[in-house]
Amino acid sequence: MPAVLTAVPSAESGDMHLVRRALARDGDAFRTIIKTHNQRLYRIARGVVRNDSEAEDIVQEAYVRAFAHLDAFRGDSSLATWLSRIVINEALGRLRKRRRTVALPENPQAEIIQFPLNPSDDPERTMAQRQILQLVERATDSLPDVYRTVFVARVIEGLSIEETADLLGVRPQTVKTRLHRARVLVRKALNDQIGPVLLDAFPFAGRRCERLTSTVLRRLGLES
């Protein structure tokens, strides 16, 4: 008897199911979409504007814009990529507006996020972790815009070369070139002292994630 092949649902089919539920004004679908993508979108936004509170505002506005045009999502790319493009456009728009209205100093002081660290009985180790994370933040924030966006998407967020190229609307070779340059600059700034700590950079979870989710849902009239 021939084996029966069972189709494995793709990420796109799961995305479309969520989108259909959201279009039917299912509050749980909106909440699932927001909580699933909050951290990636926040990291990308902050990678562009280098300010945590503005990045949070950008993500909120991007969600409202995305949900207002959710019927335009066709599943040609993943929902994550579709939302990320909206966030990038919103963030770049903010950046252009800021540059038109404010003369930026040559070396702007970026706002530093205070990362929660894992509890440790070793005070020296805890201090070392905090110092390394601050170095990572500063080195990332000091990158030129064109390199920083690629670096955040590729290294911190973990997108593939192809996903990053699709997200930014550039060729994969361009991503590779910019990423190489970004790594050289970061390596120089950190004296080769970076490593797995990058995975913990720019967190967006817990109360902050819940707060943004509730705010977006309220704006959509789905939560009192």
Q: pLDDT tens digit string along 59-115?
A: 999 999 999 999 999 888 889 989 998 998 898 888 777 766 544 334 333 333 333
Domains of the chain, first to last: 11-111+203-224 (1.10.1740.10), 114-201 (1.10.10.10)
Residue with tokens 């189709």: 7
Q: How far separated are the first and last CA of the chain, in Å rounded?
A: 57
Token digits for 106? 């040559």
Determine the Cα–Cα distance for residues 118 and 203; give it in Å rounded to an integer.
13
pTM for this entry:
0.62
Q: Are 63 and 34 in contact (CB under 8 A)?
A: yes
Strands (E), the chain: none
Amino acid at 188: K
Determine the Cα–Cα distance for residues 122 and 93; give it in Å rounded to an integer.
44
Average pLDDT, the chain: 76
Residue 39 neighbours by CB distance under 10 Å: 17
